Amino acid sequence: ETFAGRTAFVTGGASGIGLGIVKALARRDAFVVIADMRTDHISRALKALASAGLGESVAAVELDVTDRAAYASMARRMDEEFGGIDVLVNNAGVGVEGPILQATYPDWDFGLGVNLGGVVNGLQAMLPQMIAHGRGGHVVNTASLAATVVMPGHLAIYAAGKAAVLNLTENMRADLAGRGIGSSVLCPGFVRSNIHEAARNRPAHLREGSGFAASEQALSMRETGSEWMDPDAVGEMVADAILADQLYVITHGEFANRMRERAEALLAATPVCEMQF
Ligand code: NAI
């Protein structure tokens, strides 16, 4: 099975995991629209896609997923140009890292605004046309394994947004299925990308007054581990999951014990009850 005749829209599609997803969908005959706010990433990605022979299968648009008015006009444009999109990949996200006791409102607004708000805006802007065109389709939301376990570092705001994305996807799945739209949530572990540069996605008004300036500076120097997963491999997993309408896409097994411990700790704190839903 392929995506022939289908149009996909991938936010944060110009780098890292998003670009891996773009390649996998384009290789399987989709037409893919990359939506990203970094124009340098867009031009680099378009060059790479052209030299991979995928130039005819992709287009790129500049979009900040936190900008609701811009997202609404982008949705109108996708409707006019393609009769609506078929596959929505809400993948744009930012690393937001710092001690919770140092967090200020700008840090919350930046982290939740992109990592949760960007997904919300994608659904609000794009789902109406995906339902109206009647062809069915699929939504992929990028969360993280940080949504399922406490990871090392200072990730409270990041994990809160990602946990919301995981729960959102689980809870919306039945309603979307009723309209012929599948849903998947991608929970990656460590993947090679440019996420350490996420401070560059932070708008000036949310940079001012941030309590995370020092930790974001440290994050920007972080070396990407050579053993981290290739984003192209993640892209292939996502393309497979869409075709199989698989809910969970879990890239790494390293946190399985911690995931189990968490589930068991929740159950251990739960009263025994005869009546079960
Ligand atoms: P990346 O930084 O390489 O790619 C993210 C892209 O999203 C960038 O091109 C960036 O410009 C774009 N972006 C950021 N904010 C945006 C906005 N407001 N509007 C439009 N575009 C925006 O990072 P990566 O790692 O590929 O991240 C993709 C997703 O995967 C994110 O949601 C991230 O949280 C998630 N993730 C990444 C992991 C990793 O190890 N790399 C692990 C778990 C989750």
Is the Cβ atom of 103 under 6 angstroms away from ligand 1?
A: no
Is the Cβ atom of 114 under 6 angstroms away from ligand 1?
A: yes
146 by Cβ neighbours in 10 Å (0-12 / 13-18 / 19+) ranks as: buried
Q: Which atom of ligand 1 is nearest to the CA of 142?
A: 32
Measuring CA to CA, which residue among 189, 192, 193, 170 is closest to residue 256?
A: 189
Is the Cβ atom of 173 under 6 angstroms away from ligand 1?
A: no
Separation between Cα atoms, residue 195 and residue 235, nearest integer Å: 16
For CA atoms 240, 44, 225, 96, the dihedral sign is negative
Please give the positions annotated as active site: 158
In this structure, are residues 87 and 137 in contact, taking their beta carbons and an 8 Å threshold? yes
Distance 268 CA to ligand 1 centre (A): 35
pLDDT at 222: 86
E-strand ranges in 18-123 read: 31-36, 58-62, 87-90
Distance 92 CA to ligand 1 centre (A): 5
For CA atoms 161, 242, 64, 95, the dihedral sign is positive
Q: In 10 A of CB 110, how many CB atoms?
A: 27
pLDDT at 272: 97
Distance 93 CA to ligand 1 centre (A): 4
Please compute Rg for the chain using Cα positions.
Answer: 19
CATH architecture of 7-268: 3-Layer(aba) Sandwich (3.40)
Is the Cβ atom of 188 under 6 angstroms away from ligand 1?
A: yes
Is the Cβ atom of 34 under 6 angstroms away from ligand 1?
A: no
| pLDDT (tens digit per residue) in 133-172 | 999 999 999 999 999 999 989 999 999 999 999 999 999 9
| Contacts (Cβ under 8 Å, ≥6 apart) of 2 | 28, 29, 30
pLDDT at 149: 98
Is the Cβ atom of 118 under 6 angstroms away from ligand 1?
A: yes
pLDDT at 211: 97
pLDDT at 226: 87
Beta bridge partners of 186: 142, 249
Tokens 């690393």 found at = 95
Give the chain's residues under pLDDT 50. Answer: none
| pLDDT (tens digit per residue) in 213-225 | 999 999 898 888 8
In this structure, are residues 54 and 84 in contact, taking their beta carbons and an 8 Å threshold? no
Spatial strand order of the sheet with 181-187 comes to: 58-62, 31-36, 7-11, 87-90, 137-142, 181-187, 248-250
Measuring CA to CA, which residue among 74, 143, 110, 140 is closest to residue 210?
A: 110
In this structure, are residues 108 and 157 in contact, taking their beta carbons and an 8 Å threshold? yes
Top mutation candidate among 17, 22, 191, 251 for ligand 1, by most atoms within 8 Å of CB: 17
Distance 187 CA to ligand 1 centre (A): 13
